[in-house]
Amino acid sequence: MEKPAITRRQLGMLAAGTVVAVPSMAQRAGSASASGASLDIAEWSYRWYGVEHATLARGTVCNGMQMYVEHWIPAQVRHPYPVLLIHGGYRQGSDWISTPDGRRGWATLLLEQGYKVYVLDRPGQGRNPYHPWVHGAFDREAPAFERAGWPGSGGLNDPATAQFVAAMGQPMANNAITRNLWRTRGGILLDDIGPSILITHGDGMLFALAAAEERPNLVKGLVALEPPQQAAEEGRTVKVPVNIVNAPAPMLARNNREALQPFLSWLDAKVNVSTAIAPAADPHPNRESTALKLDDQGCFWVGVQRKQMSYGTIALGQMYVQYMIPAEKRYPYPVVMVHGGGGQGTHMMGIGGRPGWVHYFVQSGYSVYWVDRPSYGRSPYHPDALGPSHLPNVPPFEGLVQSTAVFNTAQWPGPGGMSDPLVDQFMACESGNVSDEAFHSQLVWPGGAELLDRIGPSILFVHAFGGFFAWGVADRRPNLVKGIVCMEINGNPFAAQLRWGLTAGPMTYDPPVTEPAEFRLVDQTPPADAPRPSVPYKLQAEPARKWKNL
């Protein structure tokens, strides 16, 4: 009998509506709306620009030159030109989303003002995987708390300093090759979004100047916060309105409405002089809605441990969390989403301008928090913190393109194959799996527990290798986990590194287990009609030990 077809949106709405049996609710106390205006967003999505291939002996890979850009389009656009926010130095695009001490960032404040907002991560930084054999060797020393420069109370125990340091990742060297990469990627982006205003921090101004050189007619204004002297001098020669601001305190400390207002006034006087706002052509006229109505949005890091080195104290195990709170919250428990394998949180954000799980759940009335596990996406890697087991190792295309579980399936929205632009968008985020899953678990589980301590009872929504997050966090916070949804969950029991059953790290069993050797296992053979691929596996002999806390 042929099964009825179901669309992606119907599947998402079904999951969002039935993930847990909970009643409708009024807004809980402490709503984030006190932090600012609600946000009516017509479109929220992301894209990697400038994805290119390299052919190696082990296969075809992304060559590391891609650039991640996330964008928010307000329902009511009130200004003719979008704003492109460009980070500098060892920072990343998250600087514009939230401040280290938890305030709304300029991305949201500009969105409130009716600007289209684009936030980029420069190639090799933030969500763009950093590969030392492509982007250059890591610094001999990781960023240290003692040299952070955050103007708060300072010290190892200052929460804002911890957030500030947690975001710091390795940049590419500022040389001719890097400047050319910024120039080309900036040009590709401007070709896509049209004439724009560029707001930069630190040496992000150098990126802006390179982009302006490549597309001089598409840069309508430049605001540069605390640029280095070299960039400030170059900026005085460009033929667009430029506002250069230097101040004694780091930009992030003043990332608020009061600090933004003079720039808004300057833009209105010098740049926003177009008489009409022409709607841009929709490049995806038939796609599903990515519209959202939010009470708040932002980001932060959890699980920030301190590791003592000879040169200072560095961050270890930080895990990036991005969140959206719907304007109409209809369910009491937020949903925590965890990506799988070698990916990152973008797995939950759709692909190719299409909506993803974050959209579906927020549109259904759930608050959503989604993570980048340690060393993935916006959770930076440095060898002094995480060692060789977490070194990014970009995977080749061929195995996934040919897999009937990934791209070679009727569910994949693109045409498939090596020239599929959606495959490029997927592979641009990939870093490869960690080689020490037990160590990774020891980093992830405390961060997950800290996240639930912060946001309260939650539903865990995990994919593939990310499944271990749910088991370990529920074991540590059983009263705060109200439901677990596992999609394509990781690994066969007791196989490979899953020495504790479904996890590489220890779980609480009843009767207790102190060593994996204490499990009594029985070989199992899949039935002849089992879905392929299938392999023999192991289960516990009866009576089986059970997870005590789940």
199-214: pLDDT as tens digits: 999 999 999 999 999 9
State residue 330 phi and psi, 5-degree precision. -105, -5
How far is residue 492's CA from residue 490's CA, in Å, rounded to a whole number? 7
Q: What is the mean pLDDT of the chain?
A: 89
Residue 232, pLDDT > 80, answer: yes
Quote the pLDDT of residue 515: 97
Helix axes 204-214, 176-193, angle to 10 degrees: 60
Contact 500, 524 (CB under 8 A): no
Q: Which two tokens stand for residue 117?
A: 């907002």
Residue 358 lies in a domain: no
Q: How does residue 257 score in pLDDT terms, banded at 50, 70 and 90?
A: confident
Residue 167 lies in a domain: yes
Partnered with residue 538 across adjacent β-strands are: 523
Q: Could you tell me which residues come within 8 angstroms of residue 449 by beta carbon, excluding any fewer than 6 positions away?
A: 473, 476, 477
Residue 259 lies in a domain: yes
Q: Which two tokens stand for residue 85?
A: 């926010």
The mean per-residue pLDDT over the stretch 462-487 comes to: 97
Residue 442 lies in a domain: no
Q: Which two tokens stand for residue 315?
A: 């961050």
Quote the pLDDT of residue 254: 58
DSSP string, 206-244: HHHHHHHHH-GGGEEEEEEES--HHHHHHHTTSSS-EEE
* Bridging pattern class, strands 242-245 and 67-74: unpaired
Q: How does residue 256 score in pLDDT terms, banded at 50, 70 and 90?
A: confident
Residue 153, pLDDT > 80, answer: no
Contact 367, 325 (CB under 8 A): yes
Quote the pLDDT of residue 457: 98
Q: What angle do CA 272, 278, 280 make, to 5 degrees?
A: 115
Residue 118 lies in a domain: yes
- Beta-sheet strands, E only, within 239-355: 242-245, 292-302, 305-309, 312-316, 319-326, 335-338
Q: Which two tokens stand for residue 206?
A: 């150098």
- Higher-confidence position of 275 and 230: 230
Asked if the bond preceding 421 is cis, omega within 30° of 0, the reply is no
Domain containing 48 — which CATH number? 3.40.50.1820
Among 50-59, 192-201, 239-248, 414-423, name the one with the lowest average pLDDT: 239-248
* Bridging pattern class, strands 83-86 and 117-121: parallel
State residue 172 phi and psi, 5-degree precision. -70, 155
Residue 149, pLDDT > 90, answer: no
The mean per-residue pLDDT over the stretch 92-110 comes to: 95
Residue 86 lies in a domain: yes
| Count of domains for the chain | 1
Q: How does residue 270 score in pLDDT terms, banded at 50, 70 and 90?
A: confident
Quote the pLDDT of residue 2: 45
How far is residue 463's CA from residue 139's CA, in Å, rounded to a whole number? 33
How far is residue 302's CA from residue 365's CA, in Å, rounded to a whole number? 24
The mean per-residue pLDDT over the stretch 427-446 comes to: 95
* 3 state SS of 159: helix
Q: Could you tell me which residues come within 8 angstroms of residue 88 by beta carbon, excluding any fewer than 6 positions away?
A: 200, 201, 202, 203, 204, 205, 227
Residue 92 lies in a domain: yes
Residue 496, pLDDT > 80, answer: yes
Q: How does residue 38 score in pLDDT terms, banded at 50, 70 and 90?
A: very high
Residue 283 lies in a domain: no
pTM reported for the whole predicted model = 0.93
Asked if the bond preceding 511 is cis, omega within 30° of 0, the reply is yes
What pLDDT, in 10s, does the model give residues 280-333? 554 445 468 999 999 999 999 999 999 999 999 999 999 999 999 999 999 999
Look up the domain containing 195 and give its range.
Answer: 41-274
